[in-house]
Protein backbone atom coordinates (compact mmCIF):
# COMPACT_ATOMS: atom_id res chain seq x y z
CA UNK A 1 0.00 0.00 0.00
CA UNK A 2 1.62 3.22 -1.17
CA UNK A 3 1.62 6.08 1.26
CA UNK A 4 -0.17 9.32 0.50
CA UNK A 5 1.37 12.72 1.11
CA UNK A 6 0.98 15.34 3.80
CA UNK A 7 -1.98 16.99 2.07
CA UNK A 8 -4.26 14.35 3.56
CA UNK A 9 -3.18 15.33 7.07
CA UNK A 10 -4.33 18.93 6.62
CA UNK A 11 -7.55 18.55 8.57
CA UNK A 12 -5.95 16.64 11.45
CA UNK A 13 -3.17 19.20 11.72
CA UNK A 14 -5.69 22.04 11.82
CA UNK A 15 -6.74 20.53 15.15
CA UNK A 16 -3.43 21.60 16.61
CA UNK A 17 -2.12 24.40 14.42
CA UNK A 18 -3.90 27.66 13.71
CA UNK A 19 -2.30 27.76 10.28
CA UNK A 20 -2.42 25.60 7.18
CA UNK A 21 0.74 23.85 8.33
CA UNK A 22 0.91 21.42 5.39
CA UNK A 23 1.84 24.53 3.38
CA UNK A 24 4.75 25.22 5.75
CA UNK A 25 8.29 24.24 4.79
CA UNK A 26 10.24 22.06 7.16
CA UNK A 27 13.78 20.73 7.42
CA UNK A 28 14.36 17.07 8.13
CA UNK A 29 16.55 16.52 11.14
CA UNK A 30 17.68 13.21 9.71
CA UNK A 31 19.04 14.24 6.32
CA UNK A 32 18.67 18.00 6.02
CA UNK A 33 16.18 17.89 3.16
CA UNK A 34 13.79 20.85 3.01
CA UNK A 35 10.26 20.45 1.68
CA UNK A 36 6.66 21.40 2.27
CA UNK A 37 4.97 19.22 4.87
CA UNK A 38 2.41 18.50 2.13
CA UNK A 39 5.21 16.67 0.29
CA UNK A 40 6.07 14.36 3.17
CA UNK A 41 5.00 10.70 3.04
CA UNK A 42 1.89 10.34 5.17
CA UNK A 43 0.97 7.19 7.03
CA UNK A 44 -2.59 7.81 8.15
CA UNK A 45 -3.76 4.26 8.72
CA UNK A 46 -1.62 3.91 11.82
CA UNK A 47 -2.67 4.32 15.42
CA UNK A 48 -1.65 7.91 14.73
CA UNK A 49 -0.49 10.14 11.90
CA UNK A 50 3.15 9.78 10.91
CA UNK A 51 4.72 12.15 8.39
CA UNK A 52 8.04 10.89 7.04
CA UNK A 53 10.72 12.64 5.04
CA UNK A 54 10.34 11.77 1.33
CA UNK A 55 14.12 11.68 1.03
CA UNK A 56 15.15 9.51 3.96
CA UNK A 57 11.97 8.18 5.63
CA UNK A 58 12.76 9.62 9.06
CA UNK A 59 9.65 10.41 11.07
CA UNK A 60 9.23 14.20 10.92
CA UNK A 61 6.02 14.57 12.87
CA UNK A 62 3.74 12.23 14.78
CA UNK A 63 0.20 13.06 15.87
CA UNK A 64 -1.85 10.87 18.18
CA UNK A 65 -5.43 11.73 19.06
CA UNK A 66 -7.64 9.94 21.47
CA UNK A 67 -9.97 10.41 24.29
CA UNK A 68 -10.17 14.15 23.83
CA UNK A 69 -6.37 14.47 24.06
CA UNK A 70 -3.86 15.17 21.32
CA UNK A 71 -0.13 14.47 21.38
CA UNK A 72 2.16 16.10 18.86
CA UNK A 73 5.75 15.02 18.34
CA UNK A 74 7.91 17.09 15.99
CA UNK A 75 11.41 16.02 16.96
CA UNK A 76 12.11 14.86 13.42
CA UNK A 77 11.95 18.44 12.19
CA UNK A 78 14.88 20.77 12.69
CA UNK A 79 12.47 23.61 12.03
CA UNK A 80 9.13 24.47 10.49
CA UNK A 81 8.90 27.80 8.68
CA UNK A 82 5.72 29.21 10.15
CA UNK A 83 5.61 32.52 8.38
CA UNK A 84 5.69 32.53 4.58
Partner 1 sequence: MVVSRGFRGRGRRDDSGRVPPGQYLTDDFPVLSAGPTPQTSLDEWSFTIGGEVDEPRRWTWDEFRAVPSETVTVDIHCVTKWSKLDTTWEGISVDTLLDGVETSAEHVVAFCEGGYTTNLPLEDVTSGRAWIAFGYEREPLDAEHGGPARLLVPHLYFWKSAKWVRGLALRNEDEPGFWERYGYHLYGDPWREQRYWGD
Partner 2 sequence: MAGAAVLGRLTPAAPLAWRVATVAGVREETPRVRTLVLEVDGWPRHRAGQHVDIRLTAEDGYQAERSYSIASGPGDGLELTVELVENGEVSPYLVEELVTGDVFEIRGPIGGYFVWDPEEGGPLLLVGGGSGVVPLRAMLRTRPTGVPARLVYSARVLEDVIYRDELDRLGSDVVVTLTREERDGRRSGRVGADLLREVGFGPDDEPRIFVCGPTSFVGAVASALVDLGHPPERVRTERFGPTGR
Binding positions for partner 1, rule: CB under 8 A: 1, 3, 41, 43, 45-48, 50, 52, 57, 59, 62, 64, 66-67, 69, 71, 73
Task: For residue 33, state whether it binds partner 2 (rule: CB under 8 A).
Answer: no
Decide if residue 2 touches partner 2 (CB under 8 A).
yes
Cα angle: 77, vertex 81, 84; to 5 degrees: 160
Question: Of 36, 83, 69, 84, nearest to 61 (Cα)?
Answer: 36
Which has the closest alpha carbon to 70: 13, 19, 11? 13
Rounded distance, CA 35 to CA 29, Å? 12
Task: Please list every residue from 38 through 57 that binds partner 2, using CB under 8 A.
Answer: 38-39, 44-45
CB of 82 to partner 2, least distance (A): 7
Residues near partner 2 (CB under 8 A)? 1-8, 10-12, 14-15, 18-24, 36-39, 44-45, 82-84
Amino acid sequence: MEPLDGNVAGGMLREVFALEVTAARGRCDGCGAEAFLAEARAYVDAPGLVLRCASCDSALLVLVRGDGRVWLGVQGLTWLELRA
